[in-house]
Structure 1
Amino acid sequence: MSAALARLARRRLARDRGALAALASLVLIVLACLIGPFLTGHKPEQIYPDFVRVAPSLDAHPRADELRPALTRLAFRMRLGLEDVRLEGDRVRLTLTASGRPVDERALRLLPRSGLFGSAQVLERAADGSRLVVALPVRKLTFLLGTDALGRDLLTRCLAAGQVSLLIGLTATLAALLIGVSYGAVSGMAGGWVDALMMRLLDILYALPFVFFVIMLLVFFRAGLWLVMVAVAAVEWLDMARIVRTQTLSLKGRDFFRAATALGVGPGTILVRHVVPNTLGPIIAAATLLVPRVILLESFLSFLGLGVQEPATSWGVLIAEGARALESAPWMLAAPAGFLVVTLVALNRLGDGLGEALDPRLQRDSAGT
């Protein structure tokens, strides 16, 4: 692709408001997934047993009516009795007792570990040590998208899952590009019986059911992130190989290709200097449309339990968990599905815009006018 055509493609893309809006949405999603988990105030793996399946809200937790049940459970874990609880602004004052023995102050470490309170400060101590009055700050927790079945913040989980889904999409797409472009360009350049043999091999691979292929891999390898990447990349390069082969065959009839062959330029040099650069437009457009397909495949595998495994998570894993709790906690499905749908729509719209901007026929028409 020449510099003039590249500038023309950028101008055409700049006039496509839908594609620019899709690009802006993707940038925001990527930045949110990369930075967001550090800004929500929650860790993706942090469990709040007192806030299981909390509905989305702007209200801070724990509320006044939630304090005593939470402290009662913590006192039970510390093997202490909870005699009194008083809320004083952002601090809570409680009285802990132990029957027939002194209170072990080391048990107070469980209070900040719960994630709901800060470090405890002992205010009063009985002479025999069996009664303590302590004060501790109350942490204000906000769950904008609610919590899941274990009490984990769903917004943080969705953002952390987005990192995995986008990583799989980009990595598998790059692998598919590398294999597909190389295979298709070599097949188109070779022609004859070599081209026919390589295409028949491609047809055989097309006939293999994708899910059966993944199950076969699971027989030999453990399910996880890298297995999903390998499985998706192993099948998604097939379409790219056909696209590049078709473009290569069309380029073989062009004058510059014939001139390079007549001058004795080797096939490898022709591939690197002429074939691949002149097929970049369709390749970039196809790659943009390939990323959402890969993300959707990963979500499908994770939904079936064949993809990403705990403690890692992805949008597909979260959608599978939300589907099981649809009646009691519909937000568990709506939150990750919303992220996935917005990402897929934006990627597809950007791919359409790039396809139109990089279309050589449209570029020639625009250049002529």
Structure 2
Amino acid sequence: MSARLPLVGRGRRTFHRLARERVAIVCLAVLALIALTCLFGPGLTGHEPERTYPDLRRLPAGIAAQPDADHLRPALERLAFRMRVRLDDVSREGDALRLTLGSDSGIDRRSLVYLPRSDLFGEPRVVADAESGKRLVVSVPVRHLRFPLGTDVHGRDLLTRCLVAGRISLLIGLTATLVALLIGVGYGASAGFLGGGVDAAMMRLVDVLYALPFVFFVILLLVFFRASLVLMLVAIGAVEWLDMARIVRAQTLSLRERDFVRAARALGLGAPRIIRRHIVPNTLGPVAVAATLLVPRVILLESFLSFLGLGVQEPQTSWGVLIAEGARAIESAPHMLAAPAAFLIATLVALNLLGDALADALDPRAE
């Protein structure tokens, strides 16, 4: 690829090559769908991410309306216990239940508020009052709740949780990658262009940071700071720029002796301006490919740390946190592991395939 080729022309040619790759188009569509679903989906599921349904715990994935016949009776018995009444009879009339409640000491009608508070039933209506308030016949509508991916051990909707978790995982992946780009590109371009002893000293610092175990570095941070999303971004961004710096340095070493760089020096341009206007723009091809492959690596790294309990903390959640929860309940509720793992795998595979397609599109030898 010629260094003098205008960036607009390069970008247009890369776009046309990428558009001919069906795999790349499919990956872009999958990533766009996942991003839009995670962004707008939680408001469309009908469930709050932290809303618990104690009577609907560990429901398997399905589209059947809940509560079904297997969960109605236990839910009503739990509510009757809280209301301090007996559940003498239950009959169903379409979408409503006819409950016969009894109590030797009389029924306080204010306790009927427990029925709609459970989110399983609507507002109750007293049909009959017998034995001086010791026996009530109540009609209460049954709500139709759907959990396409099931519920977790606390009775929370797993689809909503996966979508909210996707926001955090994608945010960490994109933000940490942006930090790595800003630091790595500037550091690598400066080291490669300046060369000599400055280059040697700067790259030895990179080697020292490479030798520091990442998990040990995170644990060390947790000793002094409270675990949080910001700390996670700092920890990942502090080490992921090292590969980017080496890639850009290698490209800069091959560019600094090119004719257009020599011409810029002859015109009296300073090093910062040459790096900004000539070196960095000509490294964007390899940088774009590396950034595309860095995003899934950061997401996977965050998931690994969250799996170990060193990452995102409650009430926030991420795909790694959900996978850790699913792994602990894999025998009794395998869907808790399958749902977030499917989101994570689809994102990682799409990003990696897109990175490969982008590398091919940027290959100067490609026709």
Q: Report the TM-score when normalising by structure 1.
A: 0.94
Of the candidates 2, 26, 35, which is equivalent to residue 30 of structure 1?
35
Q: Tell me the residue number matched to 1:266.
A: 270
Q: State the alpha-carbon separation in 1 of the partners of residues 128 and 229 from structure 2.
A: 53
- Describe the shift of the 1:211–1:65 C-alpha distance in structure 2 as closer, same or farther (beyond 3 A): closer
Q: Tell me the residue number matched to 1:179.
A: 183
- Structure 1 stretches lacking a partner, 5+ long: none
Matching residue's letter, 1:136: V
In the TM superposition, 1:228-243 aligns within 5 A as 228-243=232-247
What whole-Å deviation, never above 9, does each CA across 1:254-289 have from its counterpart, x for those lacking one? 111100000001112112211111111111111111
Q: Tell me the residue number matched to 2:21.
A: 16
Of the candidates 76, 81, 85, which is equivalent to residue 76 of structure 1?
81
8 Å CA contact 2:323, 2:337 repeated in 1: yes
Q: State the alpha-carbon separation in 1 of the partners of residues 7 and 49 from structure 2.
A: 46
Q: State the alpha-carbon separation in 2 of the partners of residues 203 and 21 from structure 1.
A: 38
Q: State the alpha-carbon separation in 1 of the partners of residues 250 and 93 from structure 2.
A: 74
Q: Tell me the residue number matched to 2:290.
A: 286
Is 1:45 aligned with 2:50?
yes
Q: State the alpha-carbon separation in 2 of the partners of residues 120 and 105 from structure 1.
A: 10
C-alpha deviation, 1:127, in angstroms: 6.7
C-alpha deviation, 1:96, in angstroms: 2.5
Q: Tell me the residue number matched to 2:301.
A: 297
C-alpha deviation, 1:327, in angstroms: 1.6
C-alpha deviation, 1:172, in angstroms: 0.9
Of the candidates 324, 331, 353, which is equivalent to residue 327 of structure 1?
331
Q: State the alpha-carbon separation in 2 of the partners of residues 2 and 252 from structure 1.
A: 18
What whole-Å deviation, never above 9, does each CA across 1:51-90 have from its counterpart, x for those lacking one? 2111212221112342222111011112222222221111
| Secondary structure of the structure 2 residue equivalent to 1:50 | helix
Q: State the alpha-carbon separation in 1 of the partners of residues 165 and 134 from structure 2.
A: 47
Is 1:169 aligned with 2:181?
no
Q: Tell me the residue number matched to 2:3.
A: none
Aligned pairs, number: 362
Q: Tell me the residue number matched to 1:216.
A: 220
Q: State the alpha-carbon separation in 2 of the partners of residues 21 and 298 from structure 1.
A: 25
Q: Which runs of 4+ in 1 moved over 4 A?
A: none
Matching residue's letter, 2:189: A
Deviates more, 1:193-202 or 1:115-124: 115-124
Q: Tell me the residue number matched to 1:254.
A: 258
Matching residue's letter, 1:68: R
Q: Tell me the residue number matched to 1:99.
A: 104
Matching residue's letter, 1:138: V
| Secondary structure of the structure 2 residue equivalent to 1:141 | coil
Deviates more, 1:294-303 or 1:215-224: 215-224
Q: Tell me the residue number matched to 1:207.
A: 211
Q: State the alpha-carbon separation in 2 of the partners of residues 17 and 155 from structure 1.
A: 29
Of the candidates 3, 8, 11, which is equivalent to residue 6 of structure 1?
11
Matching residue's letter, 2:288: I
| Secondary structure of the structure 1 residue equivalent to 2:27 | helix
Q: Tell me the residue number matched to 2:94.
A: 89
The percent of aligned pairs where both chains have the same amino acid is 67
8 Å CA contact 2:188, 2:249 repeated in 1: yes
Please provide the CA RMSD for this pair.
1.5
Deviates more, 1:295-304 or 1:270-279: 270-279
C-alpha deviation, 1:47, in angstroms: 1.2
Deviates more, 1:203-212 or 1:161-170: 161-170
Q: State the alpha-carbon separation in 2 of the partners of residues 100 and 333 from structure 1.
A: 48
C-alpha deviation, 1:98, in angstroms: 3.1
C-alpha deviation, 1:18, in angstroms: 0.8
8 Å CA contact 2:56, 2:71 repeated in 1: no
Q: Tell me the residue number matched to 2:279.
A: 275
Deviates more, 1:115-124 or 1:226-235: 115-124
C-alpha deviation, 1:134, in angstroms: 2.1
C-alpha deviation, 1:48, in angstroms: 1.3
Q: State the alpha-carbon separation in 1 of the partners of residues 362 and 78 from structure 2.
A: 62
